């Protein structure tokens, strides 16, 4: 699909550009020259790549005007304005500069981007697709002349040039090449899932330098408050027990009754990106995901969507006021009105069941805790699914760390994986943005650490950095 139409479009673009050159210059030339089909292709690619997830601020931000602070373990990284504004955006970018930014993480002014921008994934994008994205961002996206806030990370992460060395180690700047041993659908899926959808950005664990670990693709990783789970085809630790239809439905709607509901960043990905992809493209992603190497966590006994059963407690506890422990009391007071005292959810599925639910069956309870604290917010196909959060500022009920731990443990015991326990410290951690990776914890010490472990060149620069610190 990507092939023919796009190539034809780009041929038209080149011809158009050549014809227009005599009388027009600059952006005006390109505007006339870009064909509707090319721009439409770019729009679809931008959706598949979910550029808006970061570059359009939530709750009414102007499209692609940036300003959204992406919570990273190292501090907020502000998405830039990528509208074609000449003063605040990328209006002055040539296509080559655009390409460098997207695929190599180098801004128009030469400065390095942080890998919060998933350029290590986008590096796989084809030239044709970069061309279409450029056409879309320069011709259809409306310019917004408002500068996004500058990102200010603490030392040493504020030294953007240090990303040069990180890139030298971790950026594979080669384009996607189809694997002839795999079907066209799987290859298409691989391109969609990695080059565009950058699934790996969240689902692949990272090493101490925050680079994705080879051999662990899609094996699951912490995103801070939320976990991007193992989505390899292992039947116990991954999604091997799901049918292709289940996976398709999940990507299309974020809701597979009796298995999982999307929340947090995955809800955003479905809302902004996946639900808008063609069915064929979603099927291709499913086909790809189902054939990546399976990864098993030896501690897992059964799949995370297979735990628990309905509760019959309601008939037992009524008339016994004051006898419930705190977790059960909060469950029946704050959860049962929607999820039903049985935990079975509502008949129409708007309120999901709590047993046979990946949030309660996972071996790591982060997504359960995060859902209780932050709620669920997902608009798919015009339907707004909304669960209120119960953290500070909740309109419904503000729960303490102890309350959240108690109700999470009750839910895990009653409906989920009873071997998993939530402590107050776990809740405090999720409330504060989740476990911090080593890089964030060691902060400035990472420079000498890099010196010790890296190549000679890196060591030299490390010394320079150290000298600058003294100066």
Partner 1 sequence: MAHPTFSSSGDVTADVVIVGSGVVGAIIAHQMAAAGHSVVMLEAGLRLKRSDIVENWRNMSFHNRVHSDFQGLYPQAPLAPAPLYFPANDYVGLNGPDGSAFKQGYLRTVGGTTWHWAASCWRHLPADFRMKTNYGVGRDWAISYDDLEPYYCRAEDAMGVSGPHDPELQSPRERSRPYPRDMIPFGYGDRRVAELVNPHGFHLVPIPQGRSIQPFEDRPSCCGNNNCQPICPIGAMYNGIQHVVKAEDAGAVVLDQAVAYRIDTDDKNRVTAIHWYDADKKSHKATGRTFVLACNGIETPRLLLLAANEHNPTGIANSSDQVGRNMMDHSGVHATFLANEPLWFGRGPAQSSCIVGPRDGGFRSTYSANKMILNNISRVGPATQQALELGLVGQALEDEIRRRAACGVDLSVSLEPLPDPNNRLTLSKTRRDPLGLACPDIYYDVGEYVRKGAGAAADQIKQVAGLLGGTELRITTSFNANNHIMGGVIMGSDPKDSVVDGDCRAHDHSNLWLPGGGAMPSASVVNTTLSMVALGIKAADSIQADFQGGRV
Beta strands 383-387 and 255-256, pairing class: unpaired
For position 330 contacting partner 1 by CB under 8 A, the verdict is yes
For position 215 contacting partner 1 by CB under 8 A, the verdict is no
Which residue in 14, 337, 428, 460 binds partner 1 (CB under 8 A)? 337
- Name residue 265's beta-bridge partners: none
For position 394 contacting partner 1 by CB under 8 A, the verdict is yes
Contacts 24+ apart (CB under 8 A), 390-395: 390/334, 391/431
Closest distance to partner 1 from the beta carbon of 372 (Å): 12
Question: Token match 């994008």: residue?
Answer: 125
Token pair of 471 as six digits: 């100066």
Residue 179 or 398: the one with the smaller Cβ distance to partner 1 is: 398
Q: Are 271 and 236 in contact (CB under 8 A)?
A: no
Closest distance to partner 1 from the beta carbon of 58 (Å): 13
Binding-site annotation: residue ranges for heme c: 51, 54-55, 199, 202-203, 335, 338-339
- Name residue 171's beta-bridge partners: none
Nearest to 273 by CA among 41, 49, 2: 49
Residue 215 or 319: the one with the smaller Cβ distance to partner 1 is: 319
Residue 166 or 351: the one with the smaller Cβ distance to partner 1 is: 351
Q: In the window 361-380, what residues touch partner 1 (CB under 8 A)?
A: 375, 377
Binding mask 395-434 for partner 1 (x = CB under 8 A): xxxx------------------------------------
Residue 22 or 395: the one with the smaller Cβ distance to partner 1 is: 395
For position 318 contacting partner 1 by CB under 8 A, the verdict is yes
Which residue in 332, 409, 414, 429 binds partner 1 (CB under 8 A)? 332
- Residue 262 CA to residue 269 CA, distance in Å, equals 9
- Residue 29 CA to residue 411 CA, distance in Å, equals 61
Instruction: State the SS3 of 134-170.
Output: HHHHHHCCCCCCCCCCCCCCCCCCCCHHHHHHHHHHH
For position 325 contacting partner 1 by CB under 8 A, the verdict is no
User: Residue 254, class by beta-carbon neighbours within 10 Å (0-12 exposed, 13-18 middle, 19+ buried)?
Assistant: buried
Tell me the window of 291-299, 392-400, 412-420, 448-456 that interacts with partner 1 (CB under 8 A): 392-400
CB under 8 Å to 33, separation ≥6 — which residues? Answer: 13, 16, 17, 19, 20
Q: Which residues lie near partner 1 (CB under 8 A)?
A: 318-321, 324, 329-330, 332-334, 337-338, 346, 350-351, 375, 377, 384, 386-389, 393-398
């Amino acid at each position: 699909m990507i092939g023919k139409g796009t190539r034809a479009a780009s041929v038209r673009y080149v011809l158009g550009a050549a014809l227009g050159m005599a009388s027009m210059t600059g952006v005006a030339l390109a505007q006339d020259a870009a064909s509707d089909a090319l721009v439409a292709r770019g729009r679809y690619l931008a959706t598949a790549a979910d550029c808006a997830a970061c570059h359009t601020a939530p709750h009414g931000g102007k499209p692609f005007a940036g300003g959204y602070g992406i919570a990273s373990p190292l501090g907020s990284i502000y998405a830039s304005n990528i509208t074609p504004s000449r003063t605040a955006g990328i209006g002055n970018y040539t296509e080559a500069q655009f390409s460098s930014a997207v695929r190599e993480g180098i801004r128009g002014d030469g400065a390095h981007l942080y890998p919060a921008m998933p350029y290590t994934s986008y590096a796989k994008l084809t030239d044709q697709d970069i061309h279409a994205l450029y056409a879309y961002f320069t011709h259809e996206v409306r310019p917004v002349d408002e500068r996004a806030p500058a990102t200010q990370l603490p030392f040493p992460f504020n030294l953007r040039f240090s990303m040069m060395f990180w890139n030298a180690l971790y950026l594979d700047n080669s384009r996607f090449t189809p694997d002839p041993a795999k079907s066209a659908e799987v290859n298409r899926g691989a391109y969609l899932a990695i080059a565009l959808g950058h699934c790996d950005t969240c689902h692949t664990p990272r090493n101490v330098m925050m680079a994705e670990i080879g051999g662990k693709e899609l094996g699951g990783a912490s995103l801070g408050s939320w976990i991007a789970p193992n989505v390899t085809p292992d039947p116990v630790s991954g999604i091997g027990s799901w049918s292709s239809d289940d996976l398709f439905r999940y990507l299309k709607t974020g809701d597979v009754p009796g298995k999982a509901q999307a929340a947090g960043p995955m809800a955003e990905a479905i809302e902004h990106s996946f639900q808008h992809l063609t069915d064929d493209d979603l099927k291709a992603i499913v086909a790809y995901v189902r054939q990546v190497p399976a990864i098993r966590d030896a501690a897992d006994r059964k799949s995370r969507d297979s735990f628990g059963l309905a509760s019959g407690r309601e008939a037992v506890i009524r008339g016994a006021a004051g006898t419930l422990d705190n977790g059960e009391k909060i469950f029946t007071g704050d959860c049962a009105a929607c999820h039903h005292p049985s935990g079975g959810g509502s008949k129409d599925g708007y309120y999901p069941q709590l047993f046979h639910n990946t949030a309660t069956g996972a071996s790591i309870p982060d997504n359960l805790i995060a859902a209780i604290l932050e709620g669920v917010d997902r608009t798919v196909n015009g339907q707004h699914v909304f669960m209120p959060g119960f953290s500070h500022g909740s309109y419904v009920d503000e729960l303490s760390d102890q309350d959240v731990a108690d109700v999470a443990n009750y839910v895990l015991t009653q409906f989920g994986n009873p071997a998993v326990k939530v402590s107050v410290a776990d809740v405090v951690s999720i409330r504060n943005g989740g476990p911090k990776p080593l890089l964030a914890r060691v902060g400035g010490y990472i420079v000498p650490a890099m010196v010790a472990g890296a190549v000679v060149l890196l060591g030299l620069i490390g010394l320079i950095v150290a000298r600058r610190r003294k100066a």
